[in-house]
């Protein structure tokens, strides 16, 4: 695939298949004055085009605090030039998600997929 073809594919994907926007957060740590640290989440990128899809094979229930809690996982599709790692969070429609993994190393980098779980 030529570079121009990949560029066209990325542009088409962003224009046609990413109907929403999200915010990518990054964390900073500061001393709490008692030997520990306080984390603060700030905006790394705002108004990023995205699409959120469920990952039904990774949903279910888990035991937490002696109670069964629902467990849901999603995948966010983002433009190919988006900088995101498993250290980030995504905010979409008022909900916050921890990024658990990002797909990388693809032959044709048409998009980035971030696998997430609700905070």
SS3 14: helix
Calpha distance 62→48 (Å, rounded) = 31
11-47 residue pLDDT tens = 888 888 999 999 999 999 999 889 899 999 999 999 9
pTM (predicted TM-score):
0.82
Dihedral in degrees, nearest 10, Cα atoms 53, 119, 80, 93:
60
Q: Which secondary structure element, helix H or strand E, spans residue 39, and what is its range?
A: strand 37-54
Q: What are the residue boundaries of the structural domains of the chain, listed by start?
A: 3-118
CATH topology of domain 3-118: Thrombin, subunit H (2.40.10)
66-115 residue pLDDT tens = 666 666 789 999 999 999 999 999 999 999 999 999 998 788 888 999 99
Q: What are phi and psi of 30, to 5 degrees?
A: -135, 150
């Amino acid at each position: 695939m030529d570079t121009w073809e990949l560029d066209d594919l990325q542009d088409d994907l962003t224009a046609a298949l990413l109907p929403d926007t999200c915010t990518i957060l990054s964390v900073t740590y500061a001393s709490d004055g008692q030997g520990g640290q306080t984390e603060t989440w700030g905006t790394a990128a705002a108004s990023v085009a995205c699409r959120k899809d469920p990952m039904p094979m990774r949903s279910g229930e888990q035991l937490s605090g002696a109670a069964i809690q629902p467990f849901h996982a999603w995948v966010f599709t983002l433009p190919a030039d988006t900088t995101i790692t498993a250290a980030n969070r995504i905010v979409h429609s008022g909900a916050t998600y921890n990024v658990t993994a990002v797909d990388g190393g693809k032959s044709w980098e048409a998009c980035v997929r971030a696998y997430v779980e609700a905070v």
